[in-house]
Amino acid sequence: MLTSGVPLREHEAFRAESLDDLFRAVEATLAAACVAAPRQQPVDAVANHYRLSAGELWFCSYGSPISLEFAESNYLRIQFRHAGAGATKVSGAVTPVTARQGCISSAAAIIDFPEGFQQLVWRLDRDALVRKFVALTDRPAIRAIEFANVLALDSTAGEGLLSILRCMLGIIDRTGSQSSELVLREMEQALIVSLLSSGDHSHRDTIAGMPPQLTPGHVRRVEEYIEANCHNPLEIEQLALVAGASVRSIYREFRRHRGYSPMEFAKQRRLLGARSLLTDRGTRLTITQVALACGFNDVSHFSREFSKAFGEAPSAFLKRRGR
């Protein structure tokens, strides 16, 4: 299972108890058609939905064996099994959706939902994928980025992708859509990078190639941008534009010249900003308000990172300073 409970449980898109209601719901919300379903049988169908900055997440559970047909689209459809096992048919080829593998497609497809099968679908905008590819490689995507249908999830890279996805689901279920926006946007970018790095696609050789080397001046330019914008969502494409180089070059040269990644540097600046706010006797912000203002949507995570960085919890820091 992706999570211990129902993914996106606070973001219900529709619920249906009859086949007629289900047919209408999948057509209206999923742009799909039901092509096979049991006759005269009650259903217990639910779909949850969460919109991201570069795509969207869907959780679907239908309670009865059905098949849905989807038209060709301009998004990638990345399917992850949550319970049971299903299958997706694209151009006559059938790809099982199991605990060990997902399915990637954008062409017209028929998805079979045997009884007990539940899935999470990540719909990723193709333009966002191309922008990420260009940022990573500093090269144009002359040809369309085409993925093999099978997405291996039992490899080290696949497990890394699942870990990011599980973290995102946890953030969505714990905090809702407003306070978590900054963290989710950054994690979504990491998820796209993970897909490009772990998926079997037509541009893998380019992704695997070494990017050009940067100078310490490029690194400092990125640091200055992060310092000025660390309270806002940071996207690696923007860092690439600031440096005038690929994101892979930036990460490699940060490690070489600084010993940390750009996002680790952003976390340092955010923690310093939080300490400054907590030190200011003229402000009366709570620890939760400080955490949110500095880009931390999870207060317990903020407290752990603050303690690790400064040797004491935010609450102890405030008490020691008489606030």
Q: Which residues pair with 320 in a beta bridge?
A: none
Provide the 3-class DSSP secondary structure of residue 56. Answer: strand
How many whole angstroms from its chain centre is CA 71?
A: 24
Which helix (H) or strand (E) is 183 found in, with range?
helix 181-198
Residue 114 confidence (pLDDT): 94
Q: How far apart are CA 278 and CA 290, in angstroms?
A: 7
Q: How far apart are CA 118 and CA 1, in angstroms?
A: 9
Residue 143 confidence (pLDDT): 83
Residue 177 confidence (pLDDT): 46
Residue 121 confidence (pLDDT): 98
Q: What is the side-by-side order of every strand in the sheet holding 32-36? A: 32-36, 66-70, 109-113, 86-90, 93-97
239 Cβ contact list (under 8 Å, min separation 6): 222, 225, 226, 247, 250, 262
Residue 248 confidence (pLDDT): 76
Which CATH architecture is the domain 12-125 placed in?
Sandwich (2.60)
Residue 268 exposed, middle or buried by CB count within 10 Å (0-12, 13-18, 19+): middle
End-to-end CA distance of the chain: 44
Residue 14 confidence (pLDDT): 96
Query: Running DSSP on this structure, what letter comes out for residue 201?
Result: B
Residue 217 confidence (pLDDT): 79
Label residue 92 left, alpha or beta by phi (over 0 means left) and psi (-120 to 50 means alpha): left
How many whole angstroms from its chain centre is CA 146?
A: 20
pLDDT in tens, 211-265: 556 677 778 888 999 988 887 878 877 888 888 777 778 888 888 888 888 888 8
Residue ranges covered by each domain of the chain = 12-125, 211-259, 268-320
pLDDT in tens, 153-166: 998 889 999 999 99
Residue 214 confidence (pLDDT): 67
The answer to whether the pTM exceeds 0.75 is no
With a cut of 50, which residues of the chain have pLDDT below it? 177, 179
Q: Are strands 12-16 and 32-36 parallel, antiparallel or unpaired?
A: unpaired
Tell whether domain 268-320 is in CATH 3.40.50.12780.
no
Range 277-281 contact pairs with CB under 8 angstroms and sequence separation of 24 or more: 278/314, 278/317, 278/318, 278/321, 278/323, 279/321, 281/321, 281/323
